[in-house]
Amino acid sequence: MTDPILTVRDVQVTFDLGSVFRPSEILGVAGVSLEVRPGETFALVGESGSGKTTLARAINGLQAISEGEIAFEGRRIDTLSRKEMQPIRQRMSMMFQDPVGSLSPRMTVGDLVTEPFAIHGQQIDRRAEVERLLSLVGLPADFATRFPHQLSGGQARRVGVARAIALDPALVIADEPTAGLDVSVQGEVLNLLNDLRERLGLAMVIITHNLHVVHHVADRMAVMYLGRFVETGPTEAVFRAPIHPYTKALISANPEPDPDRAHDRISLPAEVPSLLARPSGCEFHTRCPWARDVCATTLPPRVTIDGQTATCHFPLRQETAA
């Protein structure tokens, strides 16, 4: 097995709330660990407020961490200064949620896709490079003179992809790559990412709340709840037989476009608890349909079955799925 390209170990992110006089802080990411290997796609799944975007930003060095460590290509990066981080940024790029909003509005597409070269002071044949990048993401070369507001969501997303792969990185972090896109375009973007990954040998971390997206692109996935991983494992195994009740609820919560389908749905009562008042014991017990007394008092144990790991007192299955 190859060495992981990205290692995240026991990472915590805290946010300061309150004032100088009444300091208080909340745990946005509460100790998570993961590994991504070259060429692999790892998905972070969770509802809003689960800490998935915060974790992604921490990996990318946009968000300081308070505990743990992050290593990229064998080198610890969470302690680096902005200047020291500079060369790392050529090897690791990030795509942001809003396809149009993540593009600087007064720059042309040509300027946008070549900006990484400008930032890192690389001399290039601008015209040739713009043409190469646009054709990689399937946009005609004459798009180079357009501005972001003249692009549709799907086209803007392609520009974002082109920029993310411009410097030939080893890892791309994609925050909600299909957010804000029409259904007929979502597939295009996912196909493009899959295709580029194969051609360029990229590793990817995809952050999304859309489980259907995960199903089609990710090799492994982690389900986040209140800043912790409640379940991790190979995507197909997790979809086929989730261990944690939350995972099962999330999978069943996705309405399917079939009016005749009977919904054996697990409906989750109540809302996601506030990070300011984390529940005791298993943090999911306030919403879990299977919760019993012990769940409210005792931290759940870690259960591992066939490389699938979850933290739960009463896992939905005990042994290898048939």
- Binding residues for other proteins, rule: CB under 8 A, are 47-48, 60-62, 85-86, 89-90, 93-94, 96-98, 101-107, 115-116, 119-120, 146, 150-153, 155, 163, 182-188, 190-191, 194, 209-213, 215-216, 235-236, 249-250, 253-260, 263, 265, 267-268, 270-272
Q: Quick one: 29 or 268, whose CB is closer to other proteins?
A: 268
Closest of 161, 172, 242, 241 to residue 207, by C-alpha: 172
CA atoms within a 13 Å half-sphere pointing along the CA-CB vector of 92: 23
* Smallest separation, CB 5 to other proteins (Å): 17
* Smallest separation, CB 201 to other proteins (Å): 16
Q: Quick one: 272 or 296, whose CB is closer to other proteins?
A: 272
Q: Quick one: 34 or 103, whose CB is closer to other proteins?
A: 103
Enter the tokens of residue 30. Answer: 């509460």
**Rounded CA gap, 192 and 315, in Å?**
37
In Å, what is the CA distance from 242 to each residue of 51, 250, 277, 287, 319? 21, 10, 27, 17, 12
* Smallest separation, CB 318 to other proteins (Å): 25
* CA–centroid distance for 135 within its chain: 26
CB distance 211 to 36 below 8 Å: no
* Smallest separation, CB 190 to other proteins (Å): 5
Contact partners, residue 288, CB within 8 Å, separation at least 6: 245, 246, 282, 295
Q: Quick one: 93 or 308, whose CB is closer to other proteins?
A: 93
Q: Quick one: 258 or 299, whose CB is closer to other proteins?
A: 258
* Smallest separation, CB 254 to other proteins (Å): 6
